[in-house]
A and B are shown apart, each in its own frame.
Chain A
């Protein structure tokens, strides 16, 4: 069983939902990332999505775009992101790590070399925003052969057919994009999410993590009740951006926000 499958199994048995933070590798500087990952684990997160910086992040809002730009200014790359994942794994064997990014760095590295490198780094899942299943057959096959989960997105306008397709080709979990828009958008409608989740549940047995537009503990709690996990990214990166002259303060505020989400998600009632 993959580390991701085991994690969701364990959460399900204990009646809890996954808290999944997203940070961009190398933002605001490379030395920040691995200690931040360990600190997030201590704050109670279950899975970490590590963003691979890319020059043209088409699906991301301004907050994550700027995170990519800051990281790239420090010469961050897919290779260095894989090194960070490997470094994290040296002292943490239980927290699944998912790399999230765009396909061009993988294309240039070569799919097989990438799959081998991800295996060496003991990465657990790969989510490539602009590699839908019809273009990603080769990549998915290479990953699955190495027990790495290919993770796919679903959107508010995804049809039942599409959900079934993702159920067939994806593993680990499905990432439900909770709104039509880019990461960090401000128009999340939880009633819409609740309705769509019923359709998702009817068409997949995979765990569903919900992301895009999750800003605070209350939203995290509401969405956690609907899915199997909640992804929070831009809200964390905003803390980095607000404290560029004081990374320790950024770290502290990120941990506080995650801890408040953890607490809200684990508490009964509203």
Chain B
């Protein structure tokens, strides 16, 4: 790539994707948010406060860990794990919620809402709301409430109200619908902290910018450890916030290959999956144009994944653009393959990954052997597996 990457454009478009597809009541608040985001991202005071929070509250920088044993075992590239699982609250989600909560505070908002799938974003939001003394309501699909009950309890401990959403497929997309309905109703005092790089502009760009700390750190750490840029990046993609956070600072580095790993569920060919980039079509949902899982009538199809955090029919519009221009590769990993990744990392390195991140681990197991041993892969270990203990135990027939 010869020209510097500058997406999105002034109207919030990534080529044909992105934009502001919202009902009229939400136009003023997203304009207000865009203005605040533009202003504070250039405000040294705000940036200093954000950096301090990331260092002392989140625990950044997160390590870039050389998984030597696993690399030897796979006989291929050297695998480095970006340890977002070691952040406060256990995933990358807190990078973004710390940033958006600081914005909310500067904008004088007193009430925070969020949607959550696996509960990691909900926990990260409840955490920052507790710290700032803000009222917090988290919308979560009823199916996800059942399969991620540990995180539901954590959110409640932190003082958040968790609303189980019973409409539609009762998963992440329905939680997003309900959060949008709340926002339209309480638009004056409420800040909606979206957890992924979706939603109307400026959310995809703003969440990316808050998550890009992952890639900026990884780049420096990789140069320090190996003396060179990595050959490949691997990250799981649901909405795509951990992936874009890792990818974005490397977009202009043409020699760095990027692999976004979608959830193939029971297998792409079965139709029971959550892989819109691999098997979807362009459309509009939740405020932006992107690849979606939709039928021939434009109705959204129910998705399937073992991991609640990837169980979403859309994907961030910037990923749609990176796919179309060929800058990033999007691949998919089935539930069963993800489980292999989960066990491999646990047993080879003593690190239990989240089921979401396990998709990235599983793809790394395929990719590493195709590369030379002097080449480097950075894999985003976006979250830890504690929240999935009940799911895993149940699969193994064990009652906790």
Contact = CB atoms under 8 A, between A and B. Distances in A.
B186 to A, nearest CB: 8
Contacts of A54: 298-299
Interface in A48-72: 54-62, 65, 69, 72
Contact of B27 (A56, A109, A156, A162): A162
B21 interface: yes
A177 B24 contact: yes
Interface string B281-303: 11111110100101011111000
A245 interface: no
Contacts of B177: 56-58
Nearest to A153: B24
A180 B27 CA distance: 12
Q: Chain B CB within 10 Å — which of A55, A106, A109, A185 has the most? A: A55
Contacts of A105: 297-299
Contact of B28 (A104, A106, A107, A159): A159
B299 A55 contact: yes
Interface in A110-133: 129-132
A130 B297 contact: no
B285 A56 contact: yes
Contacts of A259: none
Interface string A152-177: 11111111001000000000000001
Interface residues of B, number: 38
Interface in A179-197: 180-182, 185
B24 A55 contact: no
A74 interface: no
Contacts of B298: 54, 77-78, 104-109
Interface string A218-258: 00000000000000000000000000000000000000000
Contacts, number: 120
Given A55-B168, A134-B11, A180 B299 contact: no
B19 interface: yes
A202 to B, nearest CB: 18
Contacts of B173: 56
Contacts of B300: 55-56, 104
A79 B299 CA distance: 12
Interface string B177-196: 10011001111100000000
B184 A152 contact: no
B370 interface: no
Interface in B269-319: 281-287, 289, 292, 294, 296-300
A181 B183 CA distance: 8
B398 interface: no
A107 B11 CA distance: 19
Which residue of A104, A132, A156 has the most chain B CB atoms within 10 A of its CB atom?
A104
B285 A108 contact: no
A180 B185 contact: yes
B22 interface: yes
Nearest to B23: A59
B226 interface: no
A130 B284 contact: yes
B359 interface: no
A104 B27 CA distance: 19
Given A156-B25, A158-B24, A135 B294 contact: no
Nearest to A154: B24
Contacts of A132: 20-22, 24, 27
Contact of A77 (B25, B27, B299): B299
Interface string B27-42: 1110000000000000
B33 to A, nearest CB: 13
A168 to B, nearest CB: 15
A103 interface: yes
B167 interface: yes
Contacts of A182: 181, 184-185
A103 B184 contact: no
A157 B22 contact: no
A265 B153 CA distance: 52
A65 B299 contact: no
Interface in B185-241: 185-188
Nearest to B281: A108
B20 A108 contact: no
A103 B21 contact: yes
A58 B165 CA distance: 13
Residue with the greatest number of chain B CB neighbours at <10 A, chosen from A79, A135, A159, A182: A135
Given A104-B285, A104-B298, A108-B296, A158 B168 contact: no
Interface in B132-188: 167-168, 173-174, 177, 180-181, 184-188
Contacts of A106: 298
A-B residue pairs, 6 tightest by C-beta: A105-B298, A108-B298, A77-B297, A155-B25, A153-B24, A181-B185
Given A77-B298, A155-B23, 10 more contacts: A69-B168, A104-B292, A105-B298, A105-B299, A107-B283, A107-B298, A154-B24, A159-B28, A180-B187, A182-B184
Interface of A: 54-62, 65, 69, 72, 77-79, 102-109, 129-132, 134-135, 152-159, 162, 177, 180-182, 185
26 contacts: A54-B298, A54-B299, A56-B177, A58-B286, A59-B180, A65-B167, A69-B168, A78-B297, A79-B297, A104-B283, A107-B283, A108-B283, A108-B298, A132-B24, A135-B19, A155-B23, A155-B24, A156-B25, A157-B25, A157-B28, A158-B27, A162-B24, A177-B25, A180-B25, A180-B187, A181-B185
